[in-house]
């Protein structure tokens, strides 16, 4: 009987770099999963199989995957509703459409090429369903920030469509111009601030939070079953440890300063009493 294993593999892909890669593998035993992980890593990075370290562990993702899809579907369902503000006549529409799906596909493709790798995208029918749901969810997010604005500069009217700004941002990012890409990203959200405010009024105090919280939990459950996240756990742990140490140092410094201040005030009070 075959079981799914998440297999973390490590190997020296060149003289100065040690690489870690995670795979989801169906195997009949722990040993077979370990051997298959070594084989896949050695073929992908062209190194000897004997030089690859492999550590499988049982991988059960069905329940969390179903929860992920369930929560995302709540947000997707709400995105297909036309929302109206109390004092408005035109609906606020965030349902996925051609433009937003197109951008979502570009973003997900970039994630696949940069991190996930093409051969790890669809391992089962469940992965296929998960991709469709993710694209629909992020299409709704994209439609929230898509905005057309007219601005006047020196008496000349200019129309700015955030759709083209997003495409421009993605091109800059792929070309390595990350600073300009980040500035474009900030500009997009400045343009979208009015949309977010209007949508908040239209969705109200109940369905608005339901939309965001459902999307949040859907994404969180997805991340818990996404193998690529395991590759970066050591990085995240080191960042967390670094910031935790900084916080401890800050609190120790505050405690020390408080003691010095308390002792100083105590001495002054004693002098006055004398």
Give the chain's mean pLDDT.
77
Query: Given a cut of 90, is residue 215 above it in pLDDT?
Result: yes
pLDDT, tens only, 2-33: 777 778 788 887 766 777 777 777 788 888 88
pLDDT for 217 equals 95
Predicted pLDDT of residue 269: 72
List of E strands, the chain: 3-12, 18-27, 53-58, 148-153, 156-161
Are the C-beta atoms of 202 and 85 separated by less than 8 Å? yes
Q: What is the end-to-end Cα distance of the chain in Å, rounded?
A: 86
What is residue 135's predicted lDDT score, i.e. its pLDDT? Answer: 93
3 state DSSP class of 229? helix
Helix segments in the chain, DSSP class H? 30-45, 62-79, 98-111, 125-145, 162-174, 178-225, 227-231, 233-273
Predicted pLDDT of residue 202:
86
Residue 211's pLDDT is 92
Between these two residues, 2 and 172, which has the higher pLDDT value? 2
Q: What is the pTM of this model?
A: 0.68
Tokens of 145: 């920030």
Q: What is the mean pLDDT of residues 59-84?
A: 90
| 148-153 vs 156-161, strand pairing mode | antiparallel
**CA nearest 95: which of 217, 199, 189?**
199
Q: Mean pLDDT across the stretch 190-210? A: 82
């Amino acid at each position: 009987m075959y079981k799914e294993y998440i297999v973390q593999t490590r190997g020296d892909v060149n003289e100065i770099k040690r690489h870690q890669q995670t795979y989801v593998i169906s195997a009949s035993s722990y040993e077979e999963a370990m051997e298959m992980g070594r084989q896949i890593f050695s073929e992908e990075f062209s190194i000897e199989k004997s030089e690859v370290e492999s550590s499988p562990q049982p991988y059960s993702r069905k329940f969390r995957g179903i929860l992920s899809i369930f929560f995302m579907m709540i947000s997707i369902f709400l995105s297909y509703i036309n929302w109206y503000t109390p004092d408005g006549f035109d609906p606020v529409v965030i349902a996925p459409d051609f433009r937003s799906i197109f951008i979502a596909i570009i973003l997900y493709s970039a994630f696949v090429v940069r991190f996930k790798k093409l051969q790890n995208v669809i391992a089962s029918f469940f992965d296929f369903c998960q991709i469709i749901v993710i694209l629909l969810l992020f299409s709704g997010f994209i439609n929230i920030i898509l905005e057309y604005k007219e601005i006047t500069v020196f008496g000349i009217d200019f129309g700015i469509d955030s759709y083209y700004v997003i495409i421009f941002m993605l091109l800059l990012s792929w070309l390595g111009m990350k600073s300009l890409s980040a500035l474009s990203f900030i500009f997009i959200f400045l343009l979208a601030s009015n949309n977010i405010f209007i949508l908040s009024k239209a969705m109200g105090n109940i369905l608005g939070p339901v939309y965001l919280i459902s999307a949040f939990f859907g994404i969180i459950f997805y991340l818990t079953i996404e193998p690529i996240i395991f590759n970066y756990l050591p990085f995240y742990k080191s960042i967390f440890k670094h910031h935790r140490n900084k916080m401890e140092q800050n609190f120790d410094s505050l405690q020390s300063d408080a003691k010095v201040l308390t002792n100083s005030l105590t001495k002054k009070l004693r002098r006055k009493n004398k």
